[in-house]
Chains A and B, each alone.
Chain A
Amino acid sequence: MSFVITLISLAGLYALLSAKLIFALQLIVYAGAIMSLIVFIIMFLNIQPDDLPKEETKLLYILGSMVVVLPIGLFLFKIVKSLPITSTEIIGNNFGGVKQVGLLLFKDWLVPFEIVSILLLISLIGAVVLAGKRGMSK
């Protein structure tokens, strides 16, 4: 699927922006974990072609939503154009390395980090409760 290629090339862009940790995380978390989860679920569900919705008016919907989104996109483009130009050379001195980002994460961003960990725990429990109900009810 082209979604995988998009994710992997985004990882390459992160490497070009000298964000080494984010590059590795993108490859591991997105291209590794989330994609394999999606593919596994698609295989697990054993989807028949008539399970999928028939989208006869798909093209119409795509055109309509493009009309809706186009002003927003042009607005964003205008904002981006007004930004000053910065070079994108790879910068050294460990910018974006694991140590620097980790120090920042555990010093300045400790409370959001803990909140994210609680969120992950809750979603873990929620996923088990939602998907595991089948085993209990039998």
Chain B
Amino acid sequence: MIHNYLFLSCILFCLGIVGVISRRNVFTVFMSIELMLNAANLAFVTFSRIHESMDGHVLAMMVMAVAAAEAALALAVVILLHKHKSKLDTNVFSLLKG
């Protein structure tokens, strides 16, 4: 059944949204974002299996590249945050508020 893959993708995406909204630990938020990207990947690959064309695989590879770039940048920002504030709280980011 191909539906189960898509159900799993939906569940993973919703879990990612819940994690981003409700948690305040920077690492948890980051991992939730990665979870959402993975859910999108799974949906891409599943649909490319349904249509038996490989465009979805190429798109999934691009999503992976974007995720890797995002991981590098986000972790650099986390290092800076920990150095300046020595906290891992997303509320610290509110100091940008005008």
Taking Cβ atoms with an 8 Å cutoff, the residues of A that contact B are 3, 6-7, 10, 13-14, 17-19, 21-22, 25-26, 29-30, 33-34, 37-38, 41-42, 44-45, 47, 51-53, 55, 58, 61-62, 64-66, 68-70, 72-73, 76-77, 80-81, 83, 85-88, 91, 95-96, 100-101, 104-105, 108-109, 112-113, 116, 119-120, 122-124, 126-127, 130-131, 133-134
Contact = CB atoms under 8 A, between A and B. Distances in A.
Interface of B: 1-3, 5-8, 10-14, 17-18, 21-25, 27, 30-31, 34-35, 38, 41-42, 45-46, 48-50, 52, 54-55, 57-58, 60-62, 64-73, 75-80, 82-83, 86-91
Contact of A34 (B14, B22, B24, B71): B71
A82 to B, nearest CB: 10
Contacts of B10: 73, 76-77, 80
B52 A127 contact: no
A47 B85 CA distance: 12
Contacts, number: 189
B21 A68 contact: yes
